[in-house]
Amino acid sequence: MPEAALHRVAVTGLGVTAPGVESANDLFTRLLAGESFIRLFRHPHAASPLEIPAVHCHDFDALAAVGRVQATTMDRFSHLGATAAYRAWADAGLNPDGMGGDERCGISWGTGVGGTMTFEQGYRDIMMTGRDRVPPLSVVLAMNNACASHVAIRLGLGSACTTYSVACASSAVAVGDAFTRIRSGQDKIVIAGGSEAPLSEAVIRAWDAMRVLAPGNEETAPMACRPFHARRQGLVLGEGGAALVLEEWGHAKARGARILAELVGYGSSCDNVHLVKPDAKGQVRAIRAALAQGGIALQDVGYVNAHGTATREGDPAEIAALREVFAAGAERLPVSATKSAHGHLLGATGAIEALIAVQSLVHKAIPHTQHLEAPSEDCLGVDHVLGSARQAPDLRVALSNSFAFGGSNAVLAFCAAD
């Protein structure tokens, strides 16, 4: 049989759950203004005092966001994720009553640690209060695919409902999978994104034990995450969710949808070298694969939203990969790491950064790497966007890099719709 004709993939809706943020536009405006969402987080019931810089959705009201029935049957990672998905759906102007089980509409989600808050509550009940049982909804709250399934049920999405757990590349892979499904003709609409609620005591302490969490106090916490800085001290954990509505181009056009950008390429690879030490060669292959699939010339790339976690080893490896791919053009390649503002959302971070890449194309502006006066010697060689946001009237192509523990790499290439 002949291969089905390939379909173009439009981004028609964006939704995000972040502290005090109402919409993707709201988030982007505040990033351009240089706002950091990182604060000192005091764990409410840690066994011993636990304070770290983190992004905590302190004002999030699950009941108001998803309704009483879903709120009581969801873990926090689903609260945050479903909220982002519903916001993206509304932003796309799609039927609020959903698709009635349409077999060509689906969801592709990502999460790293899933329902860790539910597990932690269970352990607390058993070990600290001496109970011999945990609530009967524990399984369905904690399972990693719960968020995607809740969204599929609410919106009547009858195509595949998948959840990827690929550490910090989870939701970039989810977006890539959604892209592939639409591109091949399998689906016409896929909600793609991810969510994470990692601020349980066990998860925070696990990351802390790896010595990769940036320290800070009440005053310094907002500036704790400093990608590419000589004195970078590590990543900042964040909770939240982000979603993109991906839609087959002709379908979006036919319903008169506003097209924000086109997703043109997805590249993935595995370093196959080390569990946590990133390898530029693997990253290079993922970046090149995304560019090749999108048919993108190197000089057309006007922005890279870097993975940029602010770890000692991660940042220089990524810059080395960009220098390898872009060669002499790397010096003129605008790069920023927005984790400096929104933190590291682990399994949701690929989605929020993809969303920011799309917004950069829509608004022709590039948010800067915050708290970076000058790049570290080992991160030189690209055009770091620092100091303040940059207007980019000619911006046509933006990349979003996601490079996970485990050596899994995922790169998304977006093209302006105008």
By the criterion CB under 8 A, which residues form the site for other proteins?
Answer: 68-69, 72-73, 133, 135-137, 140
Compute the half-sphere exposure of residue 71: CA atoms within 13 Å on the CB side of its CA: 9
Contact between residue 214 and residue 235 where contact means Cβ atoms under 8 Å apart: yes
What is the spatial distance between Cα 358 and Cα 337, in angstroms, rounded to a whole number?
Answer: 15
Q: Is 344 a catalytic residue?
A: yes
Inter-residue contact 222 to 38 (CB < 8 Å): yes
Residue placing its CB nearer to other proteins in the complex, 70 or 159: 70
Q: How far is the CB of 332 from other proteins (least distance, A)?
A: 56
In the complex, minimum distance from the CB of residue 36 to other proteins, in angstroms, rounded to a whole number? 37
Q: Which is nearer to other proteins, 144 or 400 (CB)?
A: 144
Nearer to other proteins, 71 or 417 (CB): 71
Supply the minimum distance, in Å, between the C-beta of residue 102 and other proteins: 23
Distance (Å, whole) CA 97 – CA 408: 37
Shorter beta-carbon distance to other proteins: residue 128 or 230: 128
The b-or-e profile of 214-237 (16+ CB within 10 A means b, else e) is bebeeeebbbbbbbbbeebbbbbb
User: Is 379 a known active-site residue?
Assistant: no
Q: Catalytic: 307?
A: yes
CB-nearer residue toward other proteins: 71 or 223: 71
At closest approach, how far in Å is the CB of 145 from other proteins? 15
Do residues 382 and 330 touch, judged by C-beta distance below 8 A? yes
Q: Are strands 408-416 and 397-403 parallel, antiparallel or unpaired?
A: antiparallel
Of the candidates 229, 251, 342, 344, the residue annotated as catalytic is: 344
The sign of the CA dihedral 298, 301, 307, 310 is positive
Q: Which of 307, 342, 368, 371 is catalytic?
A: 307
To other proteins, the closest distance from the beta carbon of 353 in angstroms equals 34
What are the E-state strand segments in 197-253?
240-248
Distance CA 319, CA 297 (A): 19
Selected catalytic residue, list 57, 105, 147, 168:
168
| Residues with active-site annotation | 168, 307, 344
